[in-house]
Structure 1
């Protein structure tokens, strides 16, 4: 039971971190603007590349979207596998 509570606490902390890392959450942006913000690096303007990892031991997925040119980390997402 304590392990489940620890996982929930970890997930809550990571969700708070997510809100700080995702730069494209703007409900007033047009579709084209939202796509541009999601696909290009805000620092250097080059393409962003996504990498996904599955952690089957903890039943989580980790997705990191970053710029290979400048190293900017644009997104880190943790999802629970069911």
Structure 2
């Protein structure tokens, strides 16, 4: 099977680095960057890495053996359309 997982903003060390870099680049606080990002995510939070991993594990499992050609967004609703 061939599927795609489209992650949104998942709370990782790399995302923190990106948010900190944006805050520095734009001379605003880190908290302001996070708040602005969260305002764009209907779920109101960053994703947990486990949520992304659980999706990947499901798609690799026998339970998903009939799923193919799908794009699965793990983004809390951030992307409104594909």
The TM-score with structure 1 as length reference comes to 0.30
Structure having the larger proportion of residues in helix = 2
Structure having the larger proportion of residues in strand = 1
Higher RCO (C-alpha under 8 Å, 6+ residues apart): 2
